[in-house]
Structure 1
Amino acid sequence: MRDSFTVVRCLRHSRHTGIGTPADFPSAGFAITGNASAEIAQGADWAGIVLTDIDVIGRIVQRSWFLRNTESGLHRFLRLGYHNTTGPSLGALGESRTMFRPNGGPWTHIVTNREQWAPLPSAEALTQEVSVQDATWYLGLTPDDPYVIQESDYWTKWLIRAQYTFADNQTNKAHGLYGIAVDGTAFGAWWVVNQKDAFFGGPLHIDLMVDGIAYNKQSTRSPNITNGFDRTFGPQFLYFNHGQNTSLQDLLADAELLADPEWNSAFYDEIAPNVAGYVPSSARGSFTAYVQLPPVAQEPTVVLSANGVHFQVHDLQRSTITLSTPTAYQYWGSISSEGHIAITRVKAGTYRLTCFAAGIFGDFVLDNVVVRAGEETRVSVVWTPESAGKELWRLGVPDKSSGEFRNGNERDETHPNRPAKYRIYSGAWDFPTQFPEGVNFTIGESREGVDWFFIGGH
């Protein structure tokens, strides 16, 4: 499924035009000038192109793509910079995205992850759609449409609090498009997120993955873009695979095998001189820790992030980070049942260590964790949960979500795909019908999954 002709066949089927993959910046902090300089780079078994846009106020947008012999995909980097000693702040970084935007082709399904996928709505369904809110449409006028049959009567990118039906958090390994050509060949086009350390927001940050376009996307209100900001996102790999009558799940699983920071690290070191801002292996170390966990901790996770700042912080202006050089990277991993965690390829620097787990109020935090290039940093800690005294009662589960409540993680059993209800337009779950007298919840008697609506404020 990884022969060198796959990328050509997928692009041909998609009638995809232009060099690499288009990028845009809806928040307007950065822009493509239209007169980028181009540099060609090549090695024994690879070639690449680097396009650099620098506008009159010192904003830099540098887009890089590399092809390697025997690999069916494009390696992609995006560098954003701002160098102007007298210019104003550009505001928050906002949204930047690189897209695989096919124009036709065999694509029939959009895929967020192994659990969340669906057929694309047909042209007829979209023609008869009824708008119900921003970027959300009712498709129930075409009840025989495959999307309506399998997924929902509602086609939506937006969900409550700016999440999306086809969104995922930054633990996502691969997402993209799937389809079958007339000869029975199944094709997949996947953004493989093999390195995430230059992103912001940690493992819980949620963003749109796919909606007919496959996105490689960073959307955040931090950091503030001031003189000296310069950050390179990537690499990520736009991977094409195929197989005769191969299932969506099998092609996705094949793509997910590449979502490993160790994969192709030697190749990335080789091309590093052509990618400004990429951190090579020589500037990275490793981190291991033993965490004595609270007895009731479930799904414990460790995060390394900006020192002195919560990993989900949205406003670095309030932090101790020097805003002109926001160089902190982020890493995370699951803690084993024995309390061990190992993270490789960590950029040298000083980090905050955060531990969080379902079932535990609050986080464990340790600042000033130093990782040095070529060395292993070892940490051993005891996590004692926060407490304000004897707990009298509890409503819900402390797990940084509201999925345990009604219409949250609960599955929609009326559609074969059984999507989690929180992913579907909330109007599909009529609050006045489900709670005609409003919420009446009795501690110790009522059930969160039945008697409390998953969206607060009701």
Structure 2
Amino acid sequence: MENQDVFTARDGGEMGRDGCTSSSQRVRLNVQDKLVVMDNGMVQVTVSKPEGFITGIKYNGISNLLEVRNEEFDRGYWDLVWSEAGSAGTTGTDDRMNATKFDVIVENDEQVEISFTRMWDSSKEGTMVPLNIDKRFVMLRNCSGFYSYGIYEHSGEWPAFNLPQTRIVFKLRKDKFKYMAVGDNRQRCMPLPDDRLPGRGQPLATPEAVLLVNPVEPEFKGEVDDKYQYSCENKDLQVHGWICFDPPVGFWQITPSNEFRSGGLLKQNLTSHVGPITLAMFLSAHYGGEDLVLKLAPGEPWKKVFGPVFFYLNCASKADDPLKLWDDAKEQMLSEVQSWPYAFPASEEYQTSDQRGYVSGKLMIQDRYISETLIPANGAYVGLAPPGEVGSWQTEVKGYQLWTKADSDGYFSINNVRTGDYYIYAWVPCYVGDYRNDGAIIVTPGCQVDVGDLVYEPPRDGPTLWEIGIPDRSAAEFYVPDPDPKYINRLYLNHPDKFRQYGLWERYTELYPDNDLIYTIDASDYRKDWFFAQVPRKINDSTYQGTTWQIKFKLDDVHQSETYKLRPALATANVAQLEVRINDPQANPPLFSSGVIGHDNTIARHGIHGLYRSYVVDIPGAQLAAGDNTVFLSQTMSTSPLQGIMYDYIRFEGPPPSPNDKNNVGF
């Protein structure tokens, strides 16, 4: 970095100056009766013994970066949410996993690794999650921070149970850390936790959202605070955290790999939020609902390593710009990614690079309505995930997933793959549907598997007659309204992620008070005329009404005996039901009904997408007319304003041309 006053973690050289702690001393471990202290001369971490709660982090002259007003078990901790088998929903019992045994795993000049374990006790069945849990903390020499990872194990002889969530939580000092950074264009000074309390904050429609009516600092008055406004997709969720301005210190959570996170690259997770709080999320049901709850059946063994993740500390001189700490944290993140898989974890359950394998290949697309030849899958997301159905990686929560992005020619390579059986999955921007190979890929230590050329044939039955949107699994390209001025987050004013504002669902009724949306092919513009979410219309404070959108289009001629296809792809659904009719809004039954689908809760949580769903609707040519036609899309569920769907893309296909038609290529 140009700024030499900011130091990085593991360069082994001079670590800083002008007030930044620097050291090359050995790592020391001090084991006391009720606590354990790891110290490498730059960072000192105190952990309760045997529980395994981080009670203190000393750095750069600050005696404790964690909130000293909190109880010791409420500063830095692993936690999980669990429920008994058969329980519905995504809630359960909170468990901070108080360990009962402490062990020193590694202790030398270069590294300390300590373990805090809790074993399953059958006498506590029904009151204790049936898992063996091993929480590990690692400190290295010349390293400005520390690592943590966990090993969870369930024997097939133990009771079945559900696991909706597990994570690491750090609660920093509110008098020190007031500036939060999640991305280059997602960083700001944040309100205080006090501002959310009664008298200062007014609860809104969702429990996480609070309108700040009398904040301690007047600059935040009139803003909405909601932790879900700072969610992030796994593929972009590698570093986030907080900055203290006096002295200039940064606290960052760095995740070097997505392999141990659930739900794949597009899964959205919480990051940092008012507290100040920083999270390392491993498993959660956010933006997917119960489909993303890990459920272990009777007799099902399971074991997984979560992490390691890195908690990085940096500092600058008082004369320097504290915001440069974010730039340094990004550089450190890249260094951690390049170092993955780490060589230092001592657990035999963690696989180092020599224990892993390599998979490569080339993905091509076959769509004869676009090209007579195969098309390289430029920019395809290609991944290895446990064997399952097509698209099952979205809801896969038990195993490991490893993803990469194909180059412009469709070539892909996935390095450092944990041993095991995988399917190859993929999805390609600008094409609907999901790819999955037919057979399992078996990865063994040191293997180099070249799967050769793979061909994905996206779902299609005929030429495109018209389309709405972009098939990219997101509703972001559609019309996202400006927020109600009463409910704003100033960070997202004039921001590309304006969908993160609170209460946008209410704008539909304001824009369409009497009649629903009508979209006309070749005249309307989906960027301006297609509302991003099909939600109920508000009739009064307690009554809502299902909505029916219309797509008007013309056909020059109709093949009455042929079948046309409508392909709606959904970016999300929340306790919604989509019904499709053609030219008769009262037709009963409809041509298509999705049934009640989804518990993504994306509309309330400002996520612009949840779980991807795609459908095909057969439309008999006899129901179409030469000239004007209308597709009616009804979202019928209306007991809550937060029910609804977001479309990803809609395509209307004509019947396939005859084999003798020389003009059957292209739209």
Give the deviation of 1:147 after TM superposition: 4.9
Q: Quick one: which of 169, 194, 211 aligns to 1:138? A: 211
CA contact (8 A) 1:188 1:251 kept: no
Query: Which residue of structure 1 lines up, in the alignment, with residue 261 of structure 2?
Result: 199
Q: Say whether 1:433 aligns with 2:510.
A: yes
Whole-Å separation in 2 of the counterparts to 1:315 and 1:251:
34
Overall identity of the aligned pairs, in %: 18
1:153-232 equivalences in 2 (<5 Å) = 153-157=223-227, 164-171=228-235, 172-181=237-246, 185-211=247-273, 212-217=276-281, 218-220=283-285, 221-226=292-297, 227-232=300-305
Q: Quick one: which of 105, 111, 114 aligns to 2:181? A: 111
Give the deviation of 1:345 after TM superposition: 0.7
Query: For the structure 1 residues 239 and 315, does the alpha-carbon distance in structure 2 shift closer, same or farther, using more than 3 Å as the test?
Result: closer
| 1:216 maps to amino acid | A
* 1:315-339 CA distance string (max 9 Å, x none): 78xxxxxxxxx5x321111111122
Query: Which residue of structure 2 lines up, in the alignment, with residue 161 of structure 1?
Result: none
Whole-Å separation in 1 of the counterparts to 2:473 and 2:148:
32
Query: Which residue of structure 1 lines up, in the alignment, with residue 85 of structure 2?
Result: none
Query: Which residue of structure 1 lines up, in the alignment, with residue 421 of structure 2?
Result: 350
| 1:291 maps to amino acid | L
CA contact (8 A) 1:54 1:60 kept: yes
Whole-Å separation in 2 of the counterparts to 1:25 and 1:123:
23
| 1:407 maps to amino acid | V
**SS of the residue 2:63 aligns to:** helix
**SS of the residue 1:258 aligns to:** helix
CA contact (8 A) 1:192 1:258 kept: no
| 1:242 maps to amino acid | C
| 1:201 maps to amino acid | G
Query: For the structure 1 residues 456 and 303, does the alpha-carbon distance in structure 2 shift closer, same or farther, using more than 3 Å as the test?
Result: farther
Query: Which residue of structure 1 lines up, in the alignment, with residue 448 of structure 2?
Result: 376
Query: For the structure 1 residues 298 and 337, does the alpha-carbon distance in structure 2 shift closer, same or farther, using more than 3 Å as the test?
Result: closer
Q: Say whether 1:21 aligns with 2:86.
A: no
Q: Quick one: which of 50, 63, 83 aligns to 1:12? A: 63
Give the deviation of 1:416 after TM superposition: 5.8
CA contact (8 A) 2:102 2:115 kept: yes
Query: Which residue of structure 1 lines up, in the alignment, with residue 410 of structure 2?
Result: 339
Whole-Å separation in 2 of the counterparts to 1:70 and 1:235:
18
Whole-Å separation in 1 of the counterparts to 2:219 and 2:415:
43
CA contact (8 A) 1:299 1:335 kept: yes
Query: For the structure 1 residues 32 and 416, does the alpha-carbon distance in structure 2 shift closer, same or farther, using more than 3 Å as the test?
Result: closer
Whole-Å separation in 2 of the counterparts to 1:38 and 1:415:
46
Query: Which residue of structure 2 lines up, in the alignment, with residue 267 of structure 1?
Result: 343
Whole-Å separation in 2 of the counterparts to 1:428 and 1:178:
33
Give the deviation of 1:62 after TM superposition: 1.4
Whole-Å separation in 2 of the counterparts to 1:355 and 1:409:
34
CA contact (8 A) 1:110 1:117 kept: yes
* 1:341-399 CA distance string (max 9 Å, x none): 22211012221112212210112221412323112111222333221212222122111
Query: For the structure 1 residues 427 and 125, does the alpha-carbon distance in structure 2 shift closer, same or farther, using more than 3 Å as the test?
Result: farther
Query: For the structure 1 residues 259 and 165, does the alpha-carbon distance in structure 2 shift closer, same or farther, using more than 3 Å as the test?
Result: farther
Query: Which residue of structure 2 lines up, in the alignment, with residue 457 of structure 1?
Result: 535
**SS of the residue 2:204 aligns to:** strand
Q: Say whether 1:278 aligns with 2:356.
A: no
CA contact (8 A) 2:271 2:280 kept: yes
| 2:343 maps to amino acid | F
Query: For the structure 1 residues 383 and 408, does the alpha-carbon distance in structure 2 shift closer, same or farther, using more than 3 Å as the test?
Result: farther
| 1:451 maps to amino acid | D
Query: Which residue of structure 1 lines up, in the alignment, with residue 498 of structure 2?
Result: 421
Query: Which residue of structure 1 lines up, in the alignment, with residue 141 of structure 2?
Result: 69
CA contact (8 A) 2:381 2:404 kept: yes
Give the deviation of 1:405 after TM superposition: 1.4
Give the deviation of 1:284 after TM superposition: 0.3
Whole-Å separation in 2 of the counterparts to 1:443 and 1:9:
61
Whole-Å separation in 1 of the counterparts to 2:386 and 2:142:
38
Q: Say whether 1:97 aligns with 2:164.
A: no
CA contact (8 A) 1:6 1:241 kept: no
Gaps of 5+ in 1: 158-163, 317-325
| 1:24 maps to amino acid | D
Give the deviation of 1:297 after TM superposition: 6.0
CA contact (8 A) 2:378 2:407 kept: no
Q: Say whether 1:51 aligns with 2:116.
A: yes
Whole-Å separation in 2 of the counterparts to 1:352 and 1:297:
18
Q: CA RMSD in A?
A: 3.1
Whole-Å separation in 2 of the counterparts to 1:154 and 1:33:
33
Give the deviation of 1:130 after TM superposition: 1.0
Whole-Å separation in 1 of the counterparts to 2:481 and 2:339:
36
Query: For the structure 1 residues 258 and 292, does the alpha-carbon distance in structure 2 shift closer, same or farther, using more than 3 Å as the test?
Result: same
Whole-Å separation in 1 of the counterparts to 2:208 and 2:491:
24
Query: Which residue of structure 2 lines up, in the alignment, with residue 246 of structure 1?
Result: 322
Q: Larger relative CO (CA 8 A, sep 6+): 1 or 2?
A: 1
Query: Which residue of structure 1 lines up, in the alignment, with residue 393 of structure 2?
Result: 312
CA contact (8 A) 1:46 1:69 kept: yes
Give the deviation of 1:206 after TM superposition: 0.8
CA contact (8 A) 1:61 1:80 kept: yes
Of 212-221 and 103-112, more deviation after overlay is shown by: 103-112
**SS of the residue 2:349 aligns to:** coil
* 1:402-422 CA distance string (max 9 Å, x none): 111122899x99946544122
CA contact (8 A) 1:303 1:311 kept: no
**SS of the residue 2:463 aligns to:** coil
Query: For the structure 1 residues 259 and 397, does the alpha-carbon distance in structure 2 shift closer, same or farther, using more than 3 Å as the test?
Result: farther
* 1:245-266 CA distance string (max 9 Å, x none): 2325413323322341x41645
| 1:205 maps to amino acid | K
1:383-402 equivalences in 2 (<5 Å) = 383-402=456-475
Whole-Å separation in 2 of the counterparts to 1:334 and 1:74:
30
CA contact (8 A) 1:198 1:233 kept: yes
Whole-Å separation in 2 of the counterparts to 1:114 and 1:88:
45
Whole-Å separation in 2 of the counterparts to 1:142 and 1:297:
51
Give the deviation of 1:435 after TM superposition: 3.0
**SS of the residue 1:22 aligns to:** strand
CA contact (8 A) 1:125 1:142 kept: yes
**SS of the residue 1:39 aligns to:** strand
Q: Quick one: which of 74, 79, 83 aligns to 2:155? A: 83
CA contact (8 A) 2:489 2:501 kept: no
Give the deviation of 1:433 after TM superposition: 2.5
Query: For the structure 1 residues 35 and 68, does the alpha-carbon distance in structure 2 shift closer, same or farther, using more than 3 Å as the test?
Result: closer
Give the deviation of 1:430 after TM superposition: 2.1
**SS of the residue 1:289 aligns to:** strand
CA contact (8 A) 2:262 2:395 kept: no
Give the deviation of 1:293 after TM superposition: 4.7
| 2:526 maps to amino acid | E
